[in-house]
């Protein structure tokens, strides 16, 4: 309380000083800009230009300068994107990288990758033509309406301004769509129908009850109505498209090998090709299934008096089913997770696996209402523009679930899997990685960091903890872990098989249910995801495989001098960078 009052006083004093020194302030800013290193000037320019071209992306990252601008996806905007690509490519090409630090070199490569990815998306992949689900205004508006970064009146004024171009937005998007896939057309219908929950009665009531002027309120009402109508017209049009492509035979949702490899290279930034990763996944699947078979034989007599089925996969499935009954009660879900965190901290310390910063303990909390999309647990970290905020481990209590739903959820997150989940999300998984990446702050990495490295680290720690003896080498723990890991592996196999090798739905469901012990509903959901996205499903396994392989490689190279803790800390010190670049740096030592 005291602190707030003091900083407010300082802020007021500053405001009055800057008020009468406007010109010298501008000069000061000019001087400061010139004093910045060429690399900082480059990154500043890059990010500021990118946010100018892609203001909705900026909005999601918590950068609110351009919130009132709803980009109309027309030829003019694509020309602006083209200009950005050309200008930035040129700037990067001209830049002398020899004096950069290792971390800056990675930042440089990340920026370069953004440029190449935008170019490819715009001129080759062209999902802006065949994926109607690219067009939906709801997300950006929801971000502003549910945001807490500014007072409600201010945000309502932004919404008022932003709503102006909603009709033009949808008109332009209809001109873009050529020969779309049926799957993405259906998704577009579903998601745009969701826009009604954003342009809701409550939003209008909020605006009418606000401190907006009467004039503004009148305009708000008009634009709100026009926006709703524009969404309705658009959904009607999408339904016509749906019928027409059903008749004529729609475009295949599969992108094929050439485009898949290119997208994989740009999105994952892996040291492998997609095909190489797929082959590793297939080999890992076989290995793990063999381990599961051994464990099933070992555990069977402990849990069953009947003879083990001849089909080993069927036996494993029955055993997993039996073991899944061991889970916490629904009322104790949050408490149990809370209780496990100190145990994980203790284990990591005792085994000397990585230094955990005692000044940054993890705060476990019940997920706030507005964030509760689905049950589960997640880390919520402050964005780069909101560094002061806390990091939380959000756990959603199962209160809103039916008895049946809760039971099925708890069986999935049973006694063993719940511990693996906590390793993944919290310690030493996502949370620990985040603490390390914040210690070497790089706005480029926090904005454009490598998702495969981040997810790969969390998946890597699951196995590393078990290898170090977490769970006392209990065969049940390993069996459950393998099932969990098999999901990550099969996501890669599924995505590649569907998108590149033409796998159909029946074969996909068979892979997931029979080979990876998944439930029918989960498998159906995965199939749907594999038809709508490409490459994203491989990111967990790609990162995991590369980190694990790197560790083995460093172990070989360093021989007796290898130290696991030192490896972990060095690995994380590079921030959320693609593993292939971290590898280059670590092996160069
Ligand atoms: Zn139960
Ligand atoms: Zn994760």
8 A C-beta contact, residue 481 and residue 464: no
| Mean pLDDT for the stretch of residues 427-450 | 89
Flag whether pLDDT at 140 surpasses 90: yes
The rounded distance, in Å, linking the Cα atoms of 418 and 428 is: 14
Ligand 1 centroid to Cα of residue 410, in Å, is 7
pLDDT attached to residue 335: 92
8 A C-beta contact, residue 178 and residue 130: yes
- Measured CA to CA in angstroms, residue 563 lies from 414, 472, 556, 570 at distances of 33, 22, 11, 11
Question: What is the spatial order of strands in the sheet that 392-395 belongs to?
Answer: 363-366, 392-395, 377-380
8 A C-beta contact, residue 189 and residue 103: no
| Mean pLDDT for the stretch of residues 137-156 | 92
Ligand 2 centroid to Cα of residue 425, in Å, is 6
pLDDT attached to residue 359: 78
Bond from prior residue into 436 cis (ω within 30 degrees of 0): no
pLDDT tens across 289-348, in order? Answer: 999 999 999 999 999 999 999 999 999 999 999 999 999 999 999 999 999 999 999 999
pLDDT tens across 3-16, in order? Answer: 333 333 333 333 33
Buried b (16+ CB within 10 A) or exposed e, 117-132: bbbbeeeebebbebbb
| Mean pLDDT for the stretch of residues 337-360 | 93
Nearest to 532 by CA among 161, 264, 267, 183: 183
Rg of the chain, C-alpha, whole Å: 26
Flag whether pLDDT at 79 surpasses 60: yes
Ligand 1 centroid to Cα of residue 83, in Å, is 58
The answer to whether the Cα torsion of 312, 314, 319, 324 is positive or negative is positive
- Ligand at shortest distance from the CA of 540: 2
Q: Which residue has the tokens 């009322």?
A: 331
Extract the tokens encoding 218: 């009148």
Report the 3 state secondary structure along 503-568: CCHHHHHHHHHHHCCCCHHHHHHHHHHHHHCCCHHHHHHHHHHHHHHHHHHHHHHHHHHCCHHHHH
Backbone angles phi, psi at 378, to 5 degrees: -155, 155
Ligand 1 centroid to Cα of residue 444, in Å, is 46
Ligand 2 centroid to Cα of residue 458, in Å, is 6
pLDDT attached to residue 7: 38
Flag whether pLDDT at 178 surpasses 60: yes
Ligand 2 centroid to Cα of residue 424, in Å, is 6
- Measured CA to CA in angstroms, residue 270 lies from 104, 185, 442, 563, 579 at distances of 19, 31, 21, 25, 7
Buried b (16+ CB within 10 A) or exposed e, 522-555: ebbebbeebbbebbbbbbbbbbbbbbbebbeebe
Flag whether pLDDT at 28 surpasses 80: no
Write down the pTM of the prediction: 0.89
Round the average pLDDT of the chain to a whole number and report it.
91
Give me the percent of the chain exceeding a pLDDT of 90. Answer: 78
- Ligand at shortest distance from the CA of 453: 2
- Measured CA to CA in angstroms, residue 519 lies from 286, 409, 487 at distances of 20, 12, 11
CB burial class (10 A; 0-12, 13-18, 19+) of residue 20? Answer: exposed
Ligand 2 centroid to Cα of residue 128, in Å, is 29
Rounded-to-5 percentages of helix, strand, coil across the chain: 70, 0, 25
Ligand 1 centroid to Cα of residue 326, in Å, is 7
pLDDT attached to residue 369: 73
| Mean pLDDT for the stretch of residues 179-205 | 93
pLDDT tens across 384-435, in order? Answer: 777 666 788 989 888 888 999 899 889 999 999 999 999 999 999 999 998 8
DSSP 379: E
8 A C-beta contact, residue 64 and residue 148: no
Give, rounded to a whole angstrom, the gap between the first and last alpha carbons of the chain.
49
| Mean pLDDT for the stretch of residues 531-558 | 96
Q: Which residue has the tokens 């693996």?
A: 420
Report the 3 state secondary structure along 400-446: HCCHHHHHHHHHHCCHHHHHHHHHHHCCCCHHHHHHHHHHCCCHHHH
8 A C-beta contact, residue 390 and residue 363: yes
Ligand 1 centroid to Cα of residue 405, in Å, is 11
pLDDT attached to residue 196: 84
Flag whether pLDDT at 540 surpasses 60: yes
pLDDT tens across 271-281, in order? Answer: 999 999 999 99
What are the DSSP calls for 46-87, one per residue?
HHHHHHHH-HHHHHHTT--TTTT-----SHHHHHHHHHHHHH
């Amino acid at each position: 309380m005291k602190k707030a009052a003091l900083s407010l006083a300082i802020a007021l004093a500053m405001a009055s000083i800057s008020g009468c020194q406007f010109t010298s302030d501008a000069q000061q800013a000019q001087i400061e800009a010139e004093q910045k290193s060429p690399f900082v000037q480059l990154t500043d320019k890059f990010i500021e230009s990118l946010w100018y071209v892609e203001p909705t992306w900026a909005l999601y990252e918590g950068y609110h300068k351009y919130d009132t601008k709803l980009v109309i996806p027309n030829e003019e905007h694509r020309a602006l994107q083209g200009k950005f690509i050309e200008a930035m490519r040129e700037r990067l090409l001209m830049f002398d990288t020899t004096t950069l630090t290792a971390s800056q070199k990675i930042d440089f490569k990340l920026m370069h990758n953004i440029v190449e990815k935008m170019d490819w998306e715009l001129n080759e992949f062209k999902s802006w033509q065949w994926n109607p689900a690219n067009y939906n205004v709801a997300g950006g508006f929801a971000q502003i309406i549910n945001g807490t970064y500014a007072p409600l009146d201010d945000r309502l004024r932004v919404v008022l301004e932003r709503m102006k171009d909603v009709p033009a937005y949808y008109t332009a998007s209809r001109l873009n769509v050529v020969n779309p896939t049926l799957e993405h057309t259906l998704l577009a219908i579903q998601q745009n129908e969701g826009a009604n929950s954003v342009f809701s009665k409550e939003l209008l009531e909020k605006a009418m009850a606000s401190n907006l002027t009467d004039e503004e309120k009148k305009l708000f009402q008009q634009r709100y109505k026009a926006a709703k109508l524009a969404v309705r017209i658009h959904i009607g049009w999408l339904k016509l498209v749906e019928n027409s492509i059903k008749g004529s035979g729609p475009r295949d949702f599969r992108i094929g090998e050439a485009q898949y490899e290119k997208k994989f290279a740009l999105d994952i930034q892996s040291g492998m090709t997609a095909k190489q990763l797929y082959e590793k996944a297939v080999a890992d699947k076989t290995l793990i299934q063999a381990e599961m078979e051994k464990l099933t034989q070992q555990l069977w007599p402990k849990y069953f008096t009947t003879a083990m089925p001849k089909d080993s996969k069927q036996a494993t499935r029955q055993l997993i089913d039996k073991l899944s009954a061991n889970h916490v009660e629904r009322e104790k879900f949050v408490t149990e997770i809370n209780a496990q965190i100190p145990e994980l901290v203790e284990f990591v310390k005792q085994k000397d696996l990585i230094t955990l910063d005692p000044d940054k303990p993890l705060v476990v909390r019940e997920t706030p209402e507005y964030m509760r999309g689905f049950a589960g647990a997640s880390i919520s970290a402050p964005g780069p523009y909101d560094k002061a905020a806390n990091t939380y481990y959000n756990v959603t209590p199962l209160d809103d679930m039916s008895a049946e739903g809760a039971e099925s959820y708890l069986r999935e997150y049973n006694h063993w899997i719940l511990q693996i989940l906590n390793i993944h999300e919290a310690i030493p998984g996502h949370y620990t990685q985040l603490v390390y990446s914040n210690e070497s702050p790089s706005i480029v990495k926090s904005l454009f960091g490598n998702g495969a490295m981040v997810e790969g680290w969390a998946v890597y720690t699951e196995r590393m903890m078990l290898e170090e003896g977490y769970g006392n080498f209990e065969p049940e723990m390993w069996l459950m872990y393998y099932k969990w890991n098999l999901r990550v592996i099969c996501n890669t196999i599924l995505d590649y098989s569907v998108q590149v090798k033409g796998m159909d739905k029946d074969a996909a469901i068979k892979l997931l249910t029979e080979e990876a012990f998944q439930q029918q509903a989960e498998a159906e959901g995965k199939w749907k995801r594999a038809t709508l996205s490409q490459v994203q499903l491989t990111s967990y396994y790609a990162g995991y495989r590369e980190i694990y392989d790197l560790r083995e490689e460093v172990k070989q190279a360093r021989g007796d001098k290898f130290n696991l803790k030192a490896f972990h800390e060095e690995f994380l010190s590079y921030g959320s960078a693609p593993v292939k670049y971290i590898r280059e740096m670590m092996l160069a030592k």
